[in-house]
A = this chain, B = another copy of it.
């Protein structure tokens, strides 16, 4: 049996300050992705949740296994998860961690940068083809909020009319009785329908 360290890392995304952000730790001079060694009698997912619970005051998140990195025979094995965190979650005090914009980060090691890039790719993919965007928003949200979420994650502008039409047609969301007031005309609040089919039927290559 091989005695090789097994790490569980977590890429935590959130939307705040009009930016897609990722949680980075700086225990030393360099930035790292949060994580920990797999503990005795613990599942992989539990280890990921433990790493999140050590950083945030919120437990319930969208969590998905990303990949297991073990290409370099010398390096530790890394099982990487990614998670979506609503903006309301707070960092626990006393942790050398901060939310950083998803962007080239010179202090992030190359191995972590590769993982982060892949996680972002998967997040965008997920967002386009499934109904995962709600995990970044509060339970009730306006269609403008939702569109903004998509625009930030995908990094492109979306057409308002087409967005609303397709989002409503998809059946993923439903109206609530509530309105959100603000600067201009109040906006209808919607909520995610957990019973909706989460996968979009995408175009197949073959008939």
Listed in ascending order, the chain A residues whose CB lies under 8 Å from chain B are 1-6, 37-46, 65, 67-68, 70-74, 77, 79, 128-131, 150, 154, 158-159, 162-163, 166-167, 170, 200-207
B77-A207 in contact (CB<8A): no
* Residues of chain B within 8 A of A170, CB atoms compared: 205
Contacts A43-B72, A44-B77, A68-B65 given; does A37 touch B205 at CB 8 Å: no
* Residues of chain B within 8 A of A4, CB atoms compared: 6, 38
* Distance of A131 Cα from B205 Cα, bound (Å): 9
A-B contact pairs, 20 of them (CB 8 A): A2-B6, A2-B38, A2-B39, A2-B40, A6-B6, A42-B73, A44-B77, A46-B73, A128-B205, A130-B205, A154-B206, A158-B207, A162-B207, A163-B207, A166-B207, A167-B205, A167-B206, A170-B205, A202-B203, A202-B204
Q: Closest 8 CB pairs between A and B? A: A44-B70, A162-B207, A202-B202, A203-B203, A68-B68, A200-B205, A128-B204, A41-B73
Closest CB of chain B to A106's CB: distance in Å? 28
* Residues of chain B within 8 A of A71, CB atoms compared: 43-45
A166-B206 in contact (CB<8A): yes
* Residues of chain B within 8 A of A41, CB atoms compared: 73-74
Copies of this polypeptide in the complex: 2
B79-A70 in contact (CB<8A): yes
* Residues of chain B within 8 A of A5, CB atoms compared: 1
A163-B42 in contact (CB<8A): no
* Distance of A109 Cα from B163 Cα, bound (Å): 46
Partner of A150, one of B2, B77, B131, B206: B206
A43-B202 in contact (CB<8A): no
Closest CB of chain B to A76's CB: distance in Å? 10
Closest CB of chain B to A37's CB: distance in Å? 7
* Residues of chain B within 8 A of A129, CB atoms compared: 202, 204-205
* Distance of A99 Cα from B188 Cα, bound (Å): 57
